[in-house]
Structure 1
Amino acid sequence: MSSSSSSMAFRFPPCAIPRPSSVGSATTLVPLLRPWRRSGTQMERRLSPVAATPFDLSPPPIDHDLAESMVGAGAKVSDDGVVESYDNDDEALDAADNGLAVVDLSHFGRIRVSGEDRVSFLQNQTTANFECLNEGEGCDTVFVTPTARTIDIGYAWIMKNAITLVVSPVTCQSITEMLTKYIFFADKVEITDITKQTSFFVLLGPKSNQVMEHLNLKDLDGQPYGSHKHYSINGMPVTAGVGNLVSEEGYSILTSPAAATTVWDILFSHGAIPMGANAWERLRILRGRPAPGKELTKEYNVLEAGLWNSISLDKGCYKGQETISRLITYDGVKQSLWGVHLDAPAKPESPILVEGKKVGKLTSCTSTREPGYFGLGYIKRQAASEGSTVLVGDDIAGRVVNLPYLAKQRPLGKK
């Protein structure tokens, strides 16, 4: 078989990213969540339909008190304003698995890509197929180097007049600068960092659907990952979407800063357990979502990271596509990202050994709720598989396991 026919055998079907049959637009009549009021001993919520309005990207008011609400809930806040912990990390992790947890990820980057050419621009600059997505849909996309080495995963929402990208706090500035650099003279594209002008929360846990139903937002239940709709809370715009960065379940909520306190208080009143950044990092590792500077670096390509759902080979040329096509055609992926249950804590960068030979490297490590430790690491393809015993560092025993986040990725040829 020729190389060209081999390539065809491995190509993605057109528009591989799933799409919902219908998604509301920014002008759809949606419920207005008015302030809670107490009637007897019961909390009541009054709803009325209004048309959602575009985001007001003005700075928050002087009396903005989201931080005050969080500190009142026990938040420990870093000097740069990130809620590190509520001194409840294990409880919050349990809620993410069995109940309802909420995380303020407002320190994560939000980038707004607008202008007539925004779709074709991102089509060329990232790995996902934006041209097969409609307003109200979304996807993950990967920012890569020209040789398909990983930079970051972007969680994208296709809105009426812009595409909103959520990225890591450590890459937001560099990605904004990189995208701006690739705007040519005739391109009708604008790149805006809206991180400080918006707030971003995620809901985790099996009870997420229940709270969305209580808030009269149940129309997102059952929609594909990335689907989102616009709502209004007390006349202020809120966008809610399916997925929470670490899984396809749960929800993400984007608000103006003026609405953030109201949204947070409503979620808290429904029993959501607040989770800080430290517990979120533990959850990221336990779920297996790659992170910039750890699993996403210039050492690893996008296929080694296992990010198959974010890749298209049917959309024409884009940055990194030639390398990705060759890796698929010639089965050139040499290592894969795995989870490792560990008997003791291990330092990132520690070698992973099988029968005394180095077969990989640990990239992240954290403690588990039960006594024990868990890490992420890249391991050569033929060296280990699920259940294999490895040695990390000099003397730390480990067992290789699949990762929840990567388990739903669909490599070519697999259903």
Structure 2
Amino acid sequence: MAALLANSAVLGSTVAASAASCSDHESRGYGFRNGHCKVGRFGRGNYLSIGGRDNFSSPWPRLSRDSMRSLAVSSFELMPPPIDNDLHEIMRDEGAEIDDNGVVMTFGNDDEAIAAAEQGVAVVDMSNYGRLRVTGDDRLHFLHNQSTADFKTMKASQGCYTVFTTPTARTIDLAKAWVMTNSVILVLSPSTRKSIFDRLNKYIFFADKVEIEDITDKTYLFSITGPSSDELLRKLNLEEIIGKPFGTHLHYAVEGTPVTIAVGSGFAGEGYSMLLSTSTAGFVWETLLKSGAVPMGATAAERLRVLQGKPAPGSELTDDYNVLEAGLWRTISLTKGCYIGQETIAKLITYNGVKQELWGIELEAAVTPGTPIMVDGQKVGKLTSCTIGRDNSKYFGLGYIKNKAGGAGIQVDVAGVSGTVVDIPFITRSLPE
């Protein structure tokens, strides 16, 4: 290990000298490869185009050789032993239960994983989430008109949340967007992957210079979440991205293969996302676990979503609720001009038209979503999600409650089950100042 750390300390300067002296890096277009020019496995840098042209089959952007830099990552060994990079086989060895669709449901440690996400750091395979790559000269203008975020003002390496809405501002999905040099990557909920892909293609007109590619099956997506996320990245010598604004993303390399790391995990609080190739996913996953991350399956991730109050399609994001009622104020731009749903959203804000909001509810027992929420015998809302709770709450639900009924602290009845309304960390209830 001492020798490894010593090698890591000088790797940055070695990479710079090697990159300047080796023209074959540029012809390969892959960054630095282990054994090639004696450079280590994990590099930070902008990717070169292959043969001088954009490689549209890749989700990663082209970057110039002059901006190529490398970070040594001591946990990514310079000469690791050969391993089987089949991610699911690696996960099964760790106790994963994987369903027929390839979704990792649990590692048999759901309580431990929840605790890690709230007190330490957990890592979740979010690869069942959709990933679309939008390219073409008109891509920012196009996306600007399709969702709530202000894409026209965004620069490469920035990112944001954005909401796809109906013309009446009803919610379809909350997406993450990463603006890269030649493309925009959209991360979508699993259930909306196809419908949003079809919707976006529907609005591409003949003269629009826009292309959309579904890269879900070509890539993996990991989420690193919890208050110790920064500490985990420091162990990997990835300090450069720590403290950057939400959505900021940088590009690295493992075995010459690109890895994009972005600020924001998709959950509340500290965290990061990693977009990577299928060939390196297993290696990166093992490295994250060896560095202290606790693996989390989809069952625990859904539980965490509800506990944090993140709205999801089919539950909180439906035709019954608008984007403001769902607490997604921070995704909205009031200065960007026309987009789908914009007129309704503007009227709701101008005339204080939000009549109900999303809240958390600590429940004494499990209740089926869709059940009315009652106060003093009067219906004031509807339960949308329910999961196992924490601390003094046996179960925890999400639900929309009319503003006139009150908010945090009120007592409610849900199908005979007593509940206490509480605030939830993921959402906001007003525009950012």
Q: Using structure 2 for the length normalisation, give the TM-score.
A: 0.82
**Separation in 2, partners of 1:95, 1:34:** 33
For structure 1, which runs of at least 5 residues remain unmatched after alignment? 1-26, 36-44
In the other structure, the counterpart of 2:225 is 204
Match of 1:137 in 2: 158
Quote the residue 2:68 is aligned against.
none
Shift in alpha-carbon separation, 1:251–1:78, aligned structure 2, 3 A: same
In structure 2, the residue corresponding to 1:84 is in which secondary structure? strand
Letter in 1 for 2:348: L
Correspondence for 2:400 among 373, 378, 388: 378
C-alpha change, 1:329 and 1:265, in structure 2 (3 Å) is: same
Residue of structure 2 in register with 1:41 after alignment: none
Deviation at 1:58, TM superposition (A): 7.3
1:191 equivalent to 2:212? Answer yes
Q: Is the contact between residue 362 and residue 378 of structure 1 (CA under 8 Å) also seen in structure 2?
A: yes
Is the CA contact 1:136–1:159 (under 8 Å) kept in the aligned structure 2? yes
Matching residue of 1:260: 281
1:49-103 alpha-carbon deviations (Å, 9 max, x no partner): 56443689579xxx75111110011100101111000010000000001111100
Counterpart contact for 1:350–1:392, Cα < 8 Å: yes
> Does the residue aligned with 2:163 lie in a helix, a strand or coil?
strand
| Alignment-derived partner of residue 336 in structure 1 | 357
Cα drift, residue 126 of structure 1: 0.3
1:102 corresponds to: 123
1:168 aligns with 2:186: no
Q: Give 2:413's aligned residue.
A: 391
The answer on whether the counterparts of 2:262 and 2:273 sit within 8 Å (CA) in structure 1 is yes
State the Cα distance separating 1:205 from its structure 2 match.
Answer: 1.2
Q: 1:318 aligns with which of 339, 349, 365?
A: 339
- Alignment partner, residue 62 of structure 2: none
For 1:293, what is the secondary structure of its paired residue? coil
Q: How does 1:83-98 map to 2 (within 5 A)?
A: 83-98=104-119
SS at match of 1:258: coil
The answer to whether the 8 A contact 2:85-2:280 is kept is no
Question: Is 1:182 aligned to residue 203 of structure 2?
Answer: yes
Shift of 1:369: 3.8
Amino acid at match of 1:145: T
1:192 is paired with a residue whose SS is: strand
What does residue range 148-167 of structure 1 map to in structure 2 within 5 Å? 148-167=169-188
Output the CA distance in 2 between the equivalents of 1:108 and 1:211.
23
Q: Distance in 2 between matches of 1:158 and 1:140?
A: 11
Q: Which residue of 1 aligns with 2:140?
A: 119
Secondary structure of the structure 1 residue equivalent to 2:244: coil
Identical-pair percentage: 53
Does residue 53 in structure 1 map to residue 17 in structure 2? Answer: no
Q: Which runs of 4+ in 1 moved over 3 A?
A: 30-35, 45-52, 54-59
User: Could you tell me which amino acid in structure 1 is paired with residue 362 of structure 2?
Assistant: H
What is the number of equivalent residue pairs in this alignment? Answer: 371
In the alignment, structure 2 segments of 5+ residues that lack a partner are 1-25, 49-54, 60-83
For residues 125 and 299 of structure 1, the distance between their equivalents in structure 2, rounded to whole angstroms, comes to: 20
Could you tell me whether the CA contact under 8 Å between 2:42 and 2:254 is conserved in 1?
no
RMSD across aligned positions (CA): 2.2
**Hey, what's the Cα distance between the residues in 1 that align with 2:401 and 2:172?**
20
1:348 touches 1:364 (CA, 8 Å); kept in 2? yes
Aligned twin of 2:430: 411
- Name the amino acid aligned to 1:206: P
Q: 375, 381, 403: which is aligned to 1:354?
A: 375
Matches within 5 A, 1:261-276: 261-276=282-297
2: CA distance, partners of 1:57 / 1:367: 42
Highest CA radius of gyration, 1 or 2? Answer: 2
Given residue 195 of structure 1, which amino acid in structure 2 is its aligned partner?
Answer: T
Matched residue of 2:398: which SS? strand
Indicate the SS of the match to 2:245: coil
- CA 410–341 in structure 1, closer or farther in 2 if over 3 Å, else same: closer
Q: What TM-score results when the alignment is normalised by the length of structure 1?
A: 0.85
Q: Name which of structure 1's ranges 67-76 and 370-379 shifts more when overlaid on structure 2.
A: 370-379
SS in 2 for 1:152: strand
Q: C-alpha distance in 1, partners of 2:331/2:124?
A: 24
CA distance in 2, matches of 1:58, 1:189: 16
The match for 1:233 among 250, 254, 265 is: 254
Whether contact under 8 Å (2:407, 2:421) holds in the other structure is yes
Note the C-alpha offset of 1:246.
Answer: 1.2
| Native 8 Å contact 1:52 1:232 kept in 2 | no
**Which amino acid in structure 1 is aligned with residue 47 of structure 2?**
T
Report the Cα distance in structure 1 between the residues aligned to 2:417 and 2:342, rounded to whole angstroms. 39
Tell me the distance in 2 between the aligned counterparts of 1:114 and 1:168: 20
Counterpart of 2:191 in 1: which secondary structure? coil
Indicate conservation of the 8 Å contact 1:33/1:215, yes or no. Answer: no
The code of the aligned residue for 2:404 comes to Q
C-alpha change, 1:288 and 1:142, in structure 2 (3 Å) is same
2:263 and 2:173 map into 1 onto residues whose CA distance is: 20
One-letter amino acid of the structure 1 residue matched with residue 353 of structure 2: G
1:277 to 281, 288, 298: 298
In structure 2, the CA distance between the partners of 1:112 and 1:248, relative to structure 1 (3 Å rule), is farther
